[in-house]
Copies of this chain bind each other. A is one copy, B any other.
Amino acid sequence: MYYLGIDLGGTNIKGAVVSEAGEILKEASRPTHNELGAEHVSDEIALLIHTLAEGFSPDLIGGVGLGCPGTVDPSSGIVRYANNLHWELFDLRSALKARTGFLVQLANDANAAALGEAAAGCAKDAESAVILTLGTGVGGGVVLNGKLLTGYTGAASELGHMVIVDGGEPCTCGRRGCLEAYASATGLIRMTREAMAGHPDSLLHAVTREQGAVDGQTAFLAREQGDPAAAAVIQQYIHYLSLGIANIINCFYPQVVALSGGVANQGERLLQPLRREVASQVYGNQYLEKHTEIICCTLGYRAGIIGAAMLAKQA
């Protein structure tokens, strides 16, 4: 049997035909044209589903799954709120059922990506995994025994919205001091800018001029050239990220915590100091026989597509 996996983004809709084992057989994408409204976006998704299904016997298509940004209700198929699509209470499942005949399985996009990594990526053989996406925000997904944890409300595991600094930096969610406000690329950029303001002689300025702007790489690049202000920024960033990951381990004790998103591209430069910081904070770490592995995700943007297909497989 094959499954169609769709990742609905603000700019593009990406999709694939995926095998039971999570291998991609065929990929395609279409522009979202979100400015034309939810009904139009539904048309685009339906067209993508038709394109993907072409050439496959309908009997062999086991179902369709879709990852969507924002707060979705997996049981009803309603997108409750998707900030960057400007959608509120849109019944995406009905819209797609009418257009394609498929009963599409929905999940939050970070959740779908987590399921993809657990099914066919970095956490393939793990009994449990928590995936953290360090991008503009901090997205999360928890996979326990191969299934997504979506909870009673059906809402995604919002691991980025865990306060780690009471009264700290404002978060987009309205609270202060959330992990997202510190461990996102946005948080790293803020800390980099603060360091630049405090250290006019830092190499951070030269690196920024070369790159054209401050981004999540700036501090890592300047640190490689021996800049102490950059090293302090990275230490600060890793401190906050380690707080969040240790909190997550103390809650879930998963086999794997895996990082994705722009900042995770630093690989071992990020992971090595991070593992040390986290180990010192995990409750009872010295008495435990087994320990959570902290690694990077491996599937890139395909994680969301493969995970969406796995939603259909699990339905």
* Interface membership of A276, Cβ < 8 A: no
* Interface membership of A109, Cβ < 8 A: no
Say which residue of B127, B162, B289 sits within 8 Å of A250 (CB atoms): B162
**In the complex the two chains form, is B250's CB within 8 Å of A152's CB?**
no
**In the complex the two chains form, is B164's CB within 8 Å of A163's CB?**
yes
Proximity string of chain A (125-146) to chain B, C-beta cutoff 8 Å, 1 when within and 0 when not: 0111000000000000010100
**In the complex the two chains form, is A254's CB within 8 Å of B151's CB?**
yes
Residues of B within 8 A of A292 (CB): 152-153
Residues of B within 8 A of A175 (CB): 246, 281
Q: How far is the CB of A111 from chain B (nearest CB, A)?
A: 12
- Bound CA–CA A190/B241 (angstroms): 29
**In the complex the two chains form, is B287's CB within 8 Å of A81's CB?**
yes
**In the complex the two chains form, is B283's CB within 8 Å of A161's CB?**
yes
Closest B-chain residue to A244, C-beta based? B163
Closest B-chain residue to A82, C-beta based? B287
Closest B-chain residue to A151, C-beta based? B253
Residues of B within 8 A of A144 (CB): 144, 149
Q: How far is the CB of A246 from chain B (nearest CB, A)?
A: 7
**In the complex the two chains form, is A287's CB within 8 Å of B165's CB?**
no
* Interface membership of A255, Cβ < 8 A: yes
Residues 220-256 of A at the B interface (beta carbon under 8 Å):
240, 243, 246-248, 250-255
* Interface membership of A259, Cβ < 8 A: no
Residues of B within 8 A of A253 (CB): 150-155, 157
* Interface membership of A269, Cβ < 8 A: no
**In the complex the two chains form, is B81's CB within 8 Å of A173's CB?**
no
A153-B292, A155-B283, A155-B288 given; name 11 further pairs at CB < 8 Å: A71-B284, A71-B288, A81-B284, A81-B287, A152-B255, A157-B251, A159-B250, A163-B281, A165-B165, A166-B177, A166-B243
* A contact residues vs B (CB 8 Å cutoff): 71, 73, 80-81, 88-89, 126-128, 142, 144, 149-155, 157-159, 161-166, 168, 173-175, 177, 240, 243, 246-248, 250-255, 280-281, 283-284, 287-292
